[in-house]
Every structure is written in structure tokens, then in C-alpha cells.
Structure 1
Amino acid sequence: MTDSSVDDVEALVRDEPAGSKMELRLWLRLLSCSNLISAEIRRRLRVDFDVTLPRFDVMAQLHREPDGLRLGDLSRRMMVTNGNITGLIDRLAEEGLVVREADPDDRRAITVRLTRAGSKMFRMMAAAHETWIHEMFGRLTPKTLDRLLDDLQALKVSAAGGLRGADPE
């Protein structure tokens, strides 16, 4: 759902009687905020580093695992198909940012890790990313940030409890 279509639906829901659609309004507001922030992060990554958000995400996962990750583990962490990961890794390897190695525990598996150049580039991007987030959230007071963190944790627990097959406790 694009940000403008989220805004359109949010406007329709806003016209409903008070309290009748609060959960839907909340979901739409969260989606709108997420879309707005993601679009700006994507734009800045593209402009400042000529990198896509999925490539940044792959590098972030590999940065957390200096010894590397198997391709299957990487695709599970990112919740995408092995084919998507393979394409991303191909491009990162061509640029010298990652290296593929035979997994010492399973010759059929491939482990991928950042190269020194990949680690250096990721550290630069991560520092910029942190600055961008600070700029976007900088108008919020520490009290508001604490309240949002608490409220979003409660929302996460509620949403997890509403998942099919989830334990009601």
C-alpha cells in the first residue's frame, strides 16, 4: 500500500463514528509512518551510497556475523527466497563487498561473509543511517520516545497474541 493510498483510507476511516475503527486507524497510521520513514531511508541510501535497502539489510545481517552465514540462514533471517538472496549476493560479490566460501561443516553449503571493503562500507552506511534516524525522530522528546517504545511493545505483545495458532498467554 502506497503512502498516498494509506492516507486516503485513513481519511475515510477518520470519518467513521468515534471509537468504531480505532484499531484500523492505528494500523493505518503505523503503516503510513513506516512507509514515510522507509521511503526516506531508501532515497538516502540510493543518493549517498548508490545502494538499495535490501543490499543494506544483507550487509547488516552479515556484519552481525563476522564468520559469515549460510545462504539459507541469511534468506530465513531476511524472510526472502533463496533466489532473492543469491541475486543480491552475486552483485555484492562482483563489487568485492562479500565473499563466498565453502562451509567447513557441510561441503554442499556456501557461507557468505563481508570482506574488509564490505565491512568498511557497511560501517559508513550504518553511521549515516543512525544519523538519518536521529534527524527524523529528533523532534520527539525523550519522554515521548520512552512512551512510544512502551506503547509499541504493548502493541507487539497484543499483535503476537492475535496470531493464528499463538498461545493465548
Structure 2
Amino acid sequence: MAQAPSTRLAENAETRKTRLRLWLNILRTARTVENALREEMRVSYDQTLPRFEILAMLERSESGLRMSALSEQLLVSNGNVTGIVERLVQDGLVERLPVPGDKRATLVRLTHKGEAVFAEMADVHERWVNDLLRAVPPETAQPLIDALTTVRRQIQQD
């Protein structure tokens, strides 16, 4: 097998290093933003981000979602979701319903109270995210979204 020219090897090594720095920067930035949002959610609403994420998923589904679908979409175990959903039920924000024809499955959906609480939280959450990402000009945001979407889709296809 023929060896690639040394300039190409150097370029590839440099490209790899740049992509590694990009990944580390994405990770640090995501963690920083997530930690800020987590703290805002805790202080302002006495809620956690996982609870907010479940409410957001349920808000997008009129008929509700099975527990297994919530776990899949959150990329966590059924056990983790069960505990969070139980607390949301106790707070009157969601309800659990049996799935007709499947005694093992449970459907979870927002209550009217949950819809109202989530609507307020979602509006404030959007303002927090906007403020946290204010250093990113609007004309830069869409190309970043496109690039990250391309990466995610490529990984999912591999």
C-alpha cells in the first residue's frame, strides 16, 4: 500500500485535532448551558430538567405517550422515567392511563394543570436559552444548527 504524502498526513492530523477541539468545545458549552438552565429551573420553578423534558414531550403529543416511548426519546431507562412520572403525577401535572388491549403498557399525558404549568415554563425557558446564547448572531445560528444536524444524522446512519 502506498503511503500518503507527508503534507496530507499533517493535514489529516491537524483536521483530527481541530475536530477533537470542536467536540470538546461543544461538550463544554452544552454542559455550561445545561447547568445554567438546570439552576434556573430549580430556583424559579422547583423543577428539574428531566421533568421539564418529559412535560415538553407530552405537550407535543395530544394523546400522550407510552412510558417506553418516553424512555426511548429521553435515552434513559424505564426505571428513571417511572420515578419522574410518579412525581409529576403526585404534583397533578400528568396522568397515567391504561393502554387498551395492552395490560402491561401505560400511557402518560398532561393534565390541564400540566398544560398550563408547562406553557408558562416553556415561555420562560425559551427566554433563558435566548439569553444564554445571545453571543451567537442569528445569521450564525442556522449554519450551526445545519452542521450539527448533519453530524447527528450521519452518526445515526452509521
TM-score class, shorter = 0.7 to 0.9
Q: Distance in 1 between matches of 2:149 and 2:83?
A: 35
Residue in 2 that maps onto 1:121? 117
Residue in 1 that maps onto 2:66? 70
Residue in 2 that maps onto 1:3? none
Give the total of aligned pairs.
146
TM-score under structure 2 length normalisation: 0.83
Aligned ranges for residues 19-58 of structure 1 at < 5 Å? 21-58=17-54
1:139 correspondence with 2:135 = yes
Aligned ranges for residues 92-131 of structure 1 at < 5 Å? 92-131=88-127
Q: Structure 2: which 5+ residue stretches go unaligned?
A: 1-12
Q: Distance in 2 between matches of 1:76 and 1:20?
A: 32
Q: Distance in 2 between matches of 1:110 and 1:132?
A: 33
Shift of 1:20: 6.0
Answer with 1 or 2: which has the greater Rg: 2
Q: Structure 1: which 5+ residue stretches go unaligned?
A: 1-16
SS of 1:150 mapped into structure 2: helix
Shift of 1:68: 1.1
Shift of 1:153: 3.3
SS of 1:51 mapped into structure 2: coil
TM-score under structure 1 length normalisation: 0.78
Shift of 1:92: 0.6
- How large is the RMSD of aligned CA atoms in angstroms? 1.9
Task: Write out per-residue CA displacement over residues 45-73 of structure 1, whole angstroms, 9 at most, x where no aligned residue.
Answer: 00111000110111111111121111112
Q: Distance in 2 between matches of 1:154 and 1:74?
A: 24
Question: 1:20 and 1:120, CA in 2 relative to 1: closer, same or farther beyond 3 A?
Answer: closer
SS of 1:80 mapped into structure 2: coil
The code of the aligned residue for 1:74 comes to: L
Runs of 4+ in 1 over 6 A off after TM superposition: none
Q: Distance in 2 between matches of 1:71 and 1:90?
A: 11
The code of the aligned residue for 2:94 comes to: V
Paired-residue identity, %:
38
